[in-house]
Structure 1
């Protein structure tokens, strides 16, 4: 009976499998191209007067991710969250008492970049984008609870919810997939730009990195900013890689699957397949775990 060493090609099987797994399908190539176009468009719109108003609501949304991440980590470390505020200058603040500053301070940047990475991954598949939209809905509810007195937050979330509902109905959810992908790319890029702008390019005394440097007492804020920037870029790359590995279905397959998972009301696809919901939620859990623990 031949051993592993008798078969010269045997120990290359995993290398070939890994290569084929990461090789994008035609549908994934389109998704990667769209994501690249998003990066270029956001980078241009970010600095062009008047045109930057087009992405202004999405900037505020990513600020909401940032502040919500602070709040969630505060809850996990037994803090009491008093309020979340968003302001028209694209800033935000989370008021809380208690908790562990070592965890709550970096949670804003790292949490929002992680959320962005998960949304990028889900942007590779229509059904995953639908699940991501439901998760975003829960996020919106918690944000409204903590920011219920902030009119700007209400307007932002109502507008974003309207876009999600609208895109759910377009082309069987394809528009929703690209919307989720855009929000994910926007969230990751906002973290990168904000860290560079507030921490590395110019030191802002009120930034999370400055506050963390004060608590830590061993390194300047620029060091922590660079570290968080590297982690954010790793999350961004991980979101793309997990999407390539997890969702190999063609556009036609995704369209057919979408007919049976949370279909558009009144469509000929029939009722919602309740059996597919737990499996989709499990898939979301695997996506989160893959990005967190390096798949």
Structure 2
């Protein structure tokens, strides 16, 4: 029979090994989430974007300043429907955007339980990924290439819808132009703005449609009719998920990108240089 002292010592030794093992991981987490000066500026810009978008969203006439970007994030919304429809065996017939800030995706088949929320959640996920990439110039370059591919797919599904085609072409033109300015530094702020806009649009559009105006033809109302619950309930759930996506994008950006602005520009010079 082992002595009592040995019985007490072994658990303590095991606990010590656990502390030694997990200690560096905890220190690594703290270090990764330490905010440097460049990241503070990025967080400040995100906060300014949130305030500016919130103001422009509700001020009459001035809100038209956001119209091109609203069209853009609506395109993300519709792309989310289309992409999920294709992933679940459905067929996308067309995508169209409406001048009155609406959009529709005509599709057949697919799994409705996934394709219906994919519009809101897909656009918020895209927004979170763009916010993540907006913390770094090179990552913003990569994001712009991925966006370009998504835009081309949307353009293919848009067919003859002139507003969708015009919105996509202007967005691609803006992204390309930013590549040639100061080693693509402005591209980071454009990607960041589009990301914030896309993340917040999902939340505000759900609240506007389901809580304030209670429109019955929303994705959430169709989802509620098919699978139960209320449209308001599903809208709130999707809004919370969208905010969690946005928070995850910010935290991941802080953890992943610690380079100063000068370091980012130097890295950008060697990644698909434009000068």
* Corresponding position of 2:237: 227
Offset at 1:48? 1.2
* Corresponding position of 1:212: 223
Write the mapping of 1:150-161 to structure 2, written as runs, cut at 5 A. 150-161=161-172
Alignment partner of 1:69: what SS?
helix
Taking the aligned partners of 1:84 and 1:35, their CA distance within structure 2 comes to 30
* Corresponding position of 2:83: 72
* Corresponding position of 1:143: 154
TM-score by length of 2: 0.92
* Corresponding position of 1:131: 142
Corresponding position: 1:247 with 2:251: no
* Corresponding position of 2:102: 91
Alignment partner of 2:116: what SS?
helix
Spell out, residue by residue over 1:31-64, the C-alpha distance to the aligned partner (whole angstroms, 9 max, x if none).
Answer: 1111110001000111112221111100010000
Larger radius of gyration: 2
* Residues 97, 25 of structure 1: alpha-carbon distance in 2 compared, 3 angstrom cutoff: same
Alignment partner of 1:24: what SS?
coil
Question: CA RMSD, aligned part only?
Answer: 1.6
Taking the aligned partners of 2:52 and 2:190, their CA distance within structure 1 comes to 14
* Corresponding position of 1:172: 183
Write the mapping of 1:1-295 to structure 2, written as runs, cut at 5 A. 3=13, 5=15, 10=20, 12-217=23-228, 219-264=229-274, 267=275
Alignment partner of 2:272: what SS?
coil
Offset at 1:201? 2.7
